Structure 1
């Protein structure tokens, strides 16, 4: 089979909006330059789209034109190593929208990872990184995302801290006791402001994770206060957790 026929046959079998690179074809076709040239010809003909240098995807059409791939596809090489070991997770602006904290959609993608790196652009998207001190795995990612929301609560666009706390109270209350205990354990590797707000929120919903909540409280310096503008009627326990 000719190189061009092999490439087109393999691409035809890929799902719409799947992001791939020329490397995906080199295990069977050991002709790097030929692969790149043919992929670029397919871009010119409109059969595939180019996301950024060396990255392509099959376009999915809508009434508004070709759709961009979902964010996971855009940054999946930054989230998993070979063998599908988790090294990062999508957080920040994308999660604010997904979890219902804001309706604003951003062209920035933030990634939580243990080893941060400089921000860069990938096509129209700005990719940046925040440090995550906890080990990352598929099970704890939703909890880490919630902790990141708490950590950056004053930076969520197009909303207020009060509205964000209302939403957090709902999401935390929906967690099982085991998940509430786990999120507290994960919080110990976050800053004291995040620990304080998590404690205040869990105390407000009367979490049954009493011993861990007490440990979280004891981890705070009693002479330090945290400037987080929350209404007392929304989080009545805030002052008890040194939040002013």
Structure 2
């Protein structure tokens, strides 16, 4: 089967609204020339549309014309390499979704460990920061909590009582095994993250937080998070001021 026919069949298998890059077409490096011509033919036939260089989508048809992909689909090629997750959404977009801020960012921030991203996708600006842990579909819910703790003091319009409550709900929804995973990932984050996580966990009487987290901290260090005493009484036990 020719490269063009395989690409046409592959694109036909995509759901409408799906974005894709060349590396999602199952082609070898030697086939990129033929693949480029095949994609151009699909574009000219209105089967595929180009978002930016090397990024395409299969349009969703409607009575009002072709619909563009949503933000999640626009970002998907930068969140995954093949079937493997390589990045996740963090920063203000995440904290807005978590209910920690009302601000909607102009730039979406992705956390990734190996690849640096600085691009614009259909007027959506995207930048990247280094992740502390290699992201996977299974661990990003833990990394989201830890990122929120890491940036706690930087989140605009933060209501401390609400923020502590929101974090507590997310941690409370974890079972004991998942809480231990959260602790393990936290060990790769800065000390202030481990301290506040320890306070959040011990406030819920999850006392296995003490050994790993306490032993990872300098007992002479203190961590500034603002006035947490009324929202989180256990903060003082973790040298949080």
TM-score, normalised to structure 1's length?
A: 0.79
Deviations 1:123-161 (A, max 9, x none): 322222222333433322211111111111223344333
SS in 1 for 2:51: strand
CA contact (8 A) 1:20 1:57 kept: yes
Question: 1:196: how far off?
Answer: 0.9
Match of 1:213 among 187, 190, 210: 210
Query: Which residue number in structure 2 is paired with residue 226 of structure 1?
Result: 223
Q: In 2 relative to 1, CA 116–105 (structure 1 residues): closer, same or farther, beyond 3 Å?
A: same
Query: Which residue number in structure 2 is paired with residue 128 of structure 1?
Result: 127
CA contact (8 A) 1:116 1:130 kept: no
Of 226-235 and 111-120, more deviation after overlay is shown by 111-120
Structure 2 unaligned blocks of 5 or more:
none
State the Cα RMSD in Å: 3.3
For 1:9 and 1:141, how far apart are their aligned partners in 2? 33
Deviations 1:169-226 (A, max 9, x none): 111111111111111111111001111111111122222xx23423312322222222
Q: In 2 relative to 1, CA 174–21 (structure 1 residues): closer, same or farther, beyond 3 Å?
A: closer
Deviations 1:31-71 (A, max 9, x none): 345334334435xx6x6543222212234478999453342
Query: Which residue number in structure 2 is paired with residue 97 of structure 1?
Result: 96
For 1:124 and 1:39, how far apart are their aligned partners in 2? 23
SS in 2 for 1:31: helix
Of 228-237 and 114-123, more deviation after overlay is shown by 114-123
For 1:228 and 1:29, how far apart are their aligned partners in 2? 52
Q: Is it true that 1:54 corresponds to 2:54 in the alignment?
A: yes
* Count of aligned pairs: 237
CA contact (8 A) 2:118 2:127 kept: yes
Question: 1:163: how far off?
Answer: 2.2
Match of 2:37 among 20, 34, 49: 34
Q: Is it true that 1:240 corresponds to 2:234 in the alignment?
A: no
TM-score, normalised to structure 2's length?
A: 0.79
Deviations 1:57-90 (A, max 9, x none): 234478999453342x3233333334x2333323
CA contact (8 A) 2:43 2:49 kept: no
Query: Which residue number in structure 1 is paired with residue 70 of structure 2?
Result: 69
CA contact (8 A) 1:25 1:35 kept: no
